[in-house]
Structure 1
Amino acid sequence: MKTSGNTILVSGGGSGIGLALAQRWHDAGNIVIITGRNAAKLEDAVAGHANMHAAQLDVTDPDAVQAFALDIVGKFPALNVLVNNAGIMGYEDAAAARDLRLAEDTVVTNLLGPIRLTDALIDHLTAQDDSAIVNVTSGLAFVPLPKAPTYSATKAALHSYTQALRIQLEGKVELIELAPPAVRTDLTPGQSTREGYMPLDAFADEVTALFAGEPTPEEILVQNVLPLRDAEANGNVPQVLAMLKNL
């Protein structure tokens, strides 16, 4: 993926990881469009950035995704990079029957959202030079957080989906997976100040450096996520699971 000269769409770009990376891509010489549900938050995020643009989008609404794709391609015909970053995370007690709305919302947002947005833009992206899709998964795609089973499962599924798309789109669109560790954002209550989580700026700086590699790695993995990514290869999944159980 080129480091500059792109037109990049970042879903869930109004805060957290999405916004931190969007700002760095903007500063590196890219046009960046950020999306999210909260229009006011998006406008605040792009204020003062000449080549950052805000576009409201609810990735859980399939009709809205289709309409958005048509509109955004019309406004930004040079769009060549899609970053599927929008996601939600919640803790669940699955030991007894429960209200499944959180689980269902998580699947729709974290898995169907990227699938639908990719599908809506794929014909456009395959026709662009230097096109790429970046799917934001998680270290929990490789070893699940027991108290967040559905979140972990959606990220594992998106990891698998990314691998399959990489084969199907070979020579047409570059597929990159970004798997963050635990980062200090507002994804869950109290996470932005939680001890032991990676500071957001440090994460974004390391990710930016990794994207500058030539060629761009298929998986963008900061050092903090390697214990999760490599757990199966290292044969220590039970030990990592036990550690995650106590978080």
Structure 2
Amino acid sequence: MNISGNTVFIPGSTSGIGLALALALHARGNTVVVGGRRTELLDRIAAEHPGLGTVVIDTTDPASIRVATEDVLARYPDLNVLVTMAGIMHIEDWHRPADFLASAESVVTTNVLGPIRLIAAFVEHLQSRPDATIMTVSSGLAFTPLRITPSYNASKAAIHMLSESLRLQLADTTVKVVELVPPSVRTALLPGQESSEFAMPLEDFVAEAVELLATRPDAKEIQVEQVKFLRYGEARGDYDEVVATVNHLDPHGR
């Protein structure tokens, strides 16, 4: 995608990677609209960053997506970039369904059904634009599992394959499909992650990701250097060692 001159909608961007990316893209000369469920956060963002647009949207609610889509397209008819940012991550124990089923269902609703519904809402409009992009957001954990977050890992693997498939289907349109593949980043996605030494500083991640977008406009995946350890374990032939390292196990998985 081109790094400037776009009109970008980022649902799920009232904090973390989403908000940081919104600010970085706005600084690069894009019109940026952030979306989220909580009006108080949207009001604060609008006050602190008057150049950003805001839209109320709950990506787990199909009715909310419909209303938000109408609002966005009415106010921003030049929209040509959709970033399906919204996502949640839960620690789960799959030994008993009472301990994981509700969590797993909420993760799939937010992380898989949310992006599917968003793309369905905007894909016809995006095809009408001369140069458009759908940016999906997967994870390094789509390629190397973290033992304590099974549903999250699976949801991001689904997003990866959805991105690959949509890229093939939309190849005959003006819509590009770009997959952002974050490593662990210092956000509030999980308790303690904001101060984790293993996680990449948020500012560093967004700066590197935006620079990759600028210098590799035809990239299919945006992979910062730190995520490649997770992304390519199987290709390198050290997948078992990568899994063990991520999960602090010995090489035999114990």
Coarse TM-score class (shorter-chain normalised) = over 0.9
Q: Which residue of 2 aligns with 1:61?
A: 61
Match in the other structure for 1:179? 181
Aligned residue in 2 for 1:218: 220
Q: Secondary structure at the match of 1:5?
A: coil
- Post-superposition Cα deviations, 1:28-57, rounded to whole Å, max 9, x if no partner, equal 111100011111112222324343111111
Match of 2:37 in 1: 37
Q: What is the number of equivalent residue pairs in this alignment? A: 247
1:154-184, Cα deviation, whole Å (9 max, x unpaired): 0000000000000111142000000000000
Q: Give matches, 1:152-167, under 5 Å.
A: 152-167=153-168
Structure 1, unaligned stretches of length 5 or more? none
Secondary structure (helix, strand or coil) at the match of 1:98 reads: helix
Distance 2:45 2:225 in 1: 28
Q: Aligned partners of 2:116 and 2:33: how far apart in 1?
A: 19
Q: Is the 8 A contact 2:2 2:217 kept in 1?
A: no
Name the residue aligned to 1:142. 143
Q: CA separation in 1, counterparts of 2:8 and 2:147?
A: 34
Q: Which runs of 4 or more aligned residues in structure 1 lie more than 6 Å from their structure 2 counterparts after TM superposition? A: none
What secondary structure does 2:94 align onto? coil
Q: Which residue number in structure 1 is paired with residue 127 of structure 2?
A: 126
Partner-residue secondary structure (3-state), 1:217: coil
Residue in structure 2 matched with residue 115 of structure 1 by the alignment: 116
- Note the residue ranges of structure 2 that are not aligned, 5 or more in a row: 250-254
Q: Could you tell me how far apart the structure 2 residues matched to 1:129 and 1:10 are?
A: 20
In 1, Cα distance between equivalents of 2:50 and 2:26: 9
Residues in 2 aligned to 1:203 and 1:176: alpha-carbon distance in whole angstroms: 17
Residue range with higher mean Cα deviation, 95-104 or 178-187: 95-104
* Amino acid of the structure 2 residue aligned with 1:129: P
Question: Which amino acid in structure 2 is aligned with residue 241 of structure 1?
Answer: V
Q: Could you tell me how far apart the structure 2 residues matched to 1:70 and 1:46 are? A: 20
**Percent of paired sites with the same residue:** 45
1:82-139 Cα offsets, whole Å, 9 max, x none, are: 0001000010011233241111000000000000000011110000121000001100
Deviation at 1:71, TM superposition (A): 1.9
What letter matches 1:39 in structure 2? T
Q: Secondary structure at the match of 2:197?
A: coil
TM-score, scaled to structure 2: 0.94
